[in-house]
Each structure stands twice: as C-alpha cells, then as structure tokens.
Amino acid sequence: MKAVIVCVSVSHGNTRRIAEAIGEVLDAQVVDPADIDPADLASYDLVGFGSGIFTMNFHPRLREWIRALPPQDRRRAFVFATSGMVEPPFPRYTRSLTALLEQRGYDVVDLFTCRGFDTWWPLRIIGGLSKGHPDTRDIQAARSFAEGLRARLTASS
C-alpha cells in the first residue's frame, strides 16, 4: 500500500509529530500541501489529511488546498487533527473536512484526533491548554491507529 500524509503544522509541531508517528507505521512520507503536486495524489492508495485545529476548524491553508484538488476516483483517505480541546459534539470539524474530501471524490475510511499544546491568543494568557501534548501516550495512540488502519486496508485489498 502506497501512502502519503498531507499535513499543516504551524504552531508547536504537534500535528507534525502525530503525522510522523502515523507515517512511520504506514511507510508514508509527510508533506506540506505546498510541497506536493495535487495531481500526484492519484498515484497513492491512501492519503492522510491533517492539521491542528484553529477556531474550531482545520487550518485554512489545508482546507483551501483540498478545495482546489482535482476530483479523484474514490481514493481512500484518513483525517487526523491535534487540538487543545476535545472536539465538541456541534460543530464537528472532522465532519466538515470529511465532507469536503468526499466532495473531491475521497472515501474517508477513518479519523484520529488527540490533544495538542494550544496557545491561541486568549489561551496564551493562562499559559495555554493541553501542555505536554502530544505526549508518549498520544504518539502511541497514533501508531496504534495507523497499525489498525493498515491491517484493515490490507485485509480488504
């Protein structure tokens, strides 16, 4: 299975650390959207899309890049994110990115989220949220997620 992970990680490297843990298991390169030609995604069996969460949504640069993707022929994808807080029931930012990917022809097969150190402006005053995350448990959870994903996709091939 040939995989790639498209990741925007801008604040503390939280999301990049998670992407790299997943990438090690999937033997996938982690790239910034600016560093991959969207047409090249067609050569991958699985594409991961992720970023930190900013004002209850994925990074605008990732969303804009996905909106500009050429339609795909039902490529498999997964979504991942780091956030200072747990995803609230409404609005679900993972649902909005999943819907966007499905509009571009991707079949989102799974998603992963975990805590990440968050120092968005008002949180900076109190020293941020989720200090120390992602921690070793979060990294191991990301690896376990990738192992399960690989096993399911290999079995279904």
**Confidence category of residue 134, pLDDT binned at 50, 70, 90:** confident
Amino acid at 147: E
Question: b/e per residue, 91-102, with b = 16+ CB within 10 A?
Answer: eebbeebbebbe
d(CA 6, CA 154): 21
- Residue-level pLDDT at 123: 55
**Confidence category of residue 53, pLDDT binned at 50, 70, 90:** confident
**Cα 156-73-110 angle, rounded to 5 deg:** 45
How many percent of the chain have pLDDT more than 90?
64
* pTM across the whole model: 0.88
Higher model confidence: residue 20 or residue 134?
A: 20
User: pLDDT digits over 14-32, tens only?
Assistant: 899 999 999 999 999 999 9
The arithmetic mean of pLDDT across residues 126-139, rounded, is 73
User: pLDDT digits over 62-115, tens only?
Assistant: 999 999 998 877 899 999 999 866 666 666 789 999 999 999 999 999 999 987
Minimum mean pLDDT among 15-19, 121-125, 137-141: which range?
121-125
Q: How many CB atoms lie within 10 A of CB 32?
A: 15
Per the prediction, the chain carries an average pLDDT of 88
**Confidence category of residue 126, pLDDT binned at 50, 70, 90:** low
Query: What element of type H or E holds 144?
Result: helix 136-156
Does the pLDDT of residue 129 top 70, yes or no?
A: no
Domains of the chain from N-terminus onward: 3-156 (3.40.50.360)
